[in-house]
Structure 1
Amino acid sequence: MSGRYRKEKNCLNCGHTVEDHFCSHCGQENIIVEEDALHMIAHATADYFHFESKFFHTIKPLLVKPGWLTQQFVAGKRVAFIHPIRLYIFLSIVFFLVILSGGHKAKEHIKTAPEIKLETQKKDSVVIEKTFSLDLENLRASDKFATVEAYNNYQKTLPKSKRDGFIKNYTIKRNIELRDYPGGVSKKMTEDFVHNLPKMMFLLLPLFALLLKLVYIRKKKYYYEHLIFSFHLHSALFLSALITILFSWLIGFIYNIGYVLQALCSVYIIWYIYRSLRTFYDSKRWITAIKILFLFTGYAILVGITSLIGIALSVILM
């Protein structure tokens, strides 16, 4: 954009003096505001290709050099790459949009991401009911009442010692309110749980970083370094799952090899986790293999905890 910069040295955004082309205080470019359409389009196009170049410059090492991108970021080499949090947000949005709107075929590929394990709606309903230890007879007790008011009036006729507890009381009321929902309460809970997955992931990532901190406590790394590694790792997993879904969809018009691609993706994910841990934490093969077992166990526990939180939110907010 040479020749389109303002001659004045005051920043239009914050008022500070601009020494060169960008304000050292707020970062805004000191360009002419009243530019013609041609220059405006050219400037927007340059910004777009700059982002595109930065994006692909980040994606390539993310996929083929596990752990290297985190090393570069921690070392201070950040200008050429997309920020890990911004990268994760972008890929997670695309991933969950595909999963939530791609129909049953896309949802079959959810199992390629290790942190998301969903089966059919029927199995989900059983998991949710078991998780809360809900007795089906108690859940069906709502069928005896036409309205919540009728249930409340019935409860008032009972002695306090015989009345339903808080959880059962709330469950029955919600069941009455959602009785006419297509598929029933269990389906509603499952749908809300799936839609809460993106929020749960933002809770899971910091917890996973804390787990990494504990497992690699002798490496003397700061917590934020583990957090950056967590964002890069999950970004790579989301991207590999998206690529698998895309190829399964494209090749599916000719051959049905979805399960083969899923198997290859699973092998790639296991290799990626192993290689990224070795690269970033500079650990030996056998030590990395042992720590992966601890990480998988701890990760499963964290997924269980965040899942319970997600299910609880789906019950409270539905």
Structure 2
Amino acid sequence: MKTGRTKVFLSPVPIPIAVKADRKHEHCLNCGNSLPERDNFCPECGQENKDQKVPVGVFLEELLTSLFSFDGRFLRTLTAFFFKPGKLTRAFNEGQRRKYTHPIRLYLVFSLFYFFMIGFLIPKDFFDRLLNAGQATISAVQQQQSKGKGETLDPETQERVEEALKKADAISPVDISQLQAANDTEQSYTWKTLRFLSIDPEVSTEKFGHALDSSAYAFDIGLSLQKKRDLVAHSNLFLIQVAKNLPLMMLVLLPVFAFFIHLLFAGRTVYFIENIILGFHLHAFAYALYGAVILLAFFGGVNSSWIFLAAFVLVTTYAYLALLRLYKQHWFKTLIKFWVLGGMYLTVLLIGMAAELYLSLLLL
């Protein structure tokens, strides 16, 4: 009678073990435990067995590899990230931590992409161009009103106005003495004039304040006259400071967004941290889409008005579908909660933007 025995054949040649030969140690640098030469990790504490003293180039290479490891997992993540709202959040919350890229890493990648697009593509003199164009528009309206209702500008004036609206060039040097001579009369000062008055050391702060109050750019938000002068003189620097502080503000507001979701969907057995993961994914999607839109607007020659509107519709639709997938409530009930969530978050976002602008102004 045959028995079901399994024969085991032992190979006389030892099977080679894959060993990391680079930067190995005989003991663990973390806990001091002795390590055989073949061990890639310490059996006591789990730290990798390799020399941690490396040149700057190797350190940066390992850092970038750990943050932006665009392997097959990252490509698989992108498919679910862009085309299946809420899937990544559900997978992470259900314990699938190795299947897709970590939410924080995904958030870092696309937030860096978005804010790099803003800082790199928006001109450094954007503030001046915007206000100069606004001054040209104001002048056109004032001339139109002075002509009376129903009348139009003469062709020569109309051509000058259109040319000013098209160019809105950066500030060019002007004769300061002419500006000072014009200060003695009551007039509406242009942004160019205010800029040169603010940087001219011979113009007193009181005289600059009089010019500012006589212009269309007068404002009163509790700042001293000297701080107002600094703002006009360094307006482009102020814009750069705002752009630098924006990523930190958005990161601070992300738990607030998760808290609003937690309140609206309190009936569901969901931990607060799970809503934070959803916030990472939704903000990362918004950064990815808006960053791509900015790129298309600057290099693709695409009409920025409708494409930004389309991006906003896509981001809001994506967020709604993600909530619908995760919390599985009726579509109309989810829609109502989504509108409430949008109103609450928009209010906090505007308050945060105002606070961020004010703090950037104080640090100017």
What does residue 60 of structure 1 align with? Answer: 79
- 1:121 touches 1:190 (CA, 8 Å); kept in 2? no
User: Would the alpha carbon gap of residues 70 and 191 (structure 1) be closer, same or farther in structure 2, given more than 3 Å must change?
Assistant: same
1:235 counterpart = 2:280: no
**Matching residue within 81, 99, 106 for 2:118:** 99
Please report how far the alpha carbon of residue 96 of structure 1 lies from its aligned counterpart in structure 2 after TM superposition: 0.4
Q: Quick one: which amino acid aligns to residue 290 of structure 1?
A: I
User: Would the alpha carbon gap of residues 21 and 75 (structure 1) be closer, same or farther in structure 2, given more than 3 Å must change?
Assistant: farther
Deviations along 1:190-238, whole A, 9 cap, x unmatched? 4433332111101211111111111111113111111110011100111
**Matching residue within 228, 231, 244 for 1:175:** 228
Pair member with larger Rg: 2
TM-score, length of structure 1 as denominator length: 0.66
User: Would the alpha carbon gap of residues 33 and 272 (structure 1) be closer, same or farther in structure 2, given more than 3 Å must change?
Assistant: closer
Task: Report the secondary structure of 2:224's partner residue.
Answer: helix
- 2:249 touches 2:352 (CA, 8 Å); kept in 1? yes
- 1:203 touches 1:306 (CA, 8 Å); kept in 2? no
User: Would the alpha carbon gap of residues 317 and 28 (structure 1) be closer, same or farther in structure 2, given more than 3 Å must change?
Assistant: same
Task: Report the secondary structure of 2:69's partner residue.
Answer: helix
TM-score, length of structure 2 as denominator length: 0.59
User: Would the alpha carbon gap of residues 177 and 296 (structure 1) be closer, same or farther in structure 2, given more than 3 Å must change?
Assistant: closer
- Please state which structure has a larger fraction of its residues in helix: 1
* RMSD of Structure 2 on Structure 1 (CA): 4.3
Cα distance in 1 for residues equivalent to 2:113 and 2:255: 21
Cα distance in 2 for residues equivalent to 1:178 and 1:269: 34
**Matching residue within 285, 302, 316 for 1:270:** 316
Cα distance in 2 for residues equivalent to 1:178 and 1:260: 33
Q: Report which stretch shifted further, 59-68 or 241-250.
A: 241-250
Q: Report which stretch shifted further, 301-310 or 191-200.
A: 191-200
Cα distance in 2 for residues equivalent to 1:67 and 1:60: 12
Cα distance in 2 for residues equivalent to 1:299 and 1:50: 30
- 2:25 touches 2:51 (CA, 8 Å); kept in 1? no
**Matching residue within 288, 301, 304 for 2:347:** 301
What does residue 257 of structure 2 align with? Answer: 208
Q: Quick one: which amino acid aligns to residue 4 of structure 1?
A: K
Cα distance in 1 for residues equivalent to 2:346 and 2:269: 25
Q: Report which stretch shifted further, 21-30 or 91-100.
A: 21-30
Cα distance in 2 for residues equivalent to 1:24 and 1:94: 39
Q: Give % identity.
A: 28
Cα distance in 2 for residues equivalent to 1:17 and 1:65: 48
Structure 1 segment 1-318 matched on structure 2, within 5 A? 2-4=18-20, 10-16=27-33, 21-23=40-42, 27-30=46-49, 51-53=69-71, 54-103=73-122, 121-122=130-131, 168=222, 170-177=223-230, 180-181=233-234, 185=235, 187-248=236-297, 251-252=300-301, 256-318=302-364
Cα distance in 2 for residues equivalent to 1:24 and 1:294: 52
Please report how far the alpha carbon of residue 50 of structure 1 lies from its aligned counterpart in structure 2 after TM superposition: 9.3
Please report how far the alpha carbon of residue 241 of structure 1 lies from its aligned counterpart in structure 2 after TM superposition: 2.0
What does residue 214 of structure 2 align with? Answer: none
- 1:13 touches 1:28 (CA, 8 Å); kept in 2? yes
User: Would the alpha carbon gap of residues 291 and 23 (structure 1) be closer, same or farther in structure 2, given more than 3 Å must change?
Assistant: farther
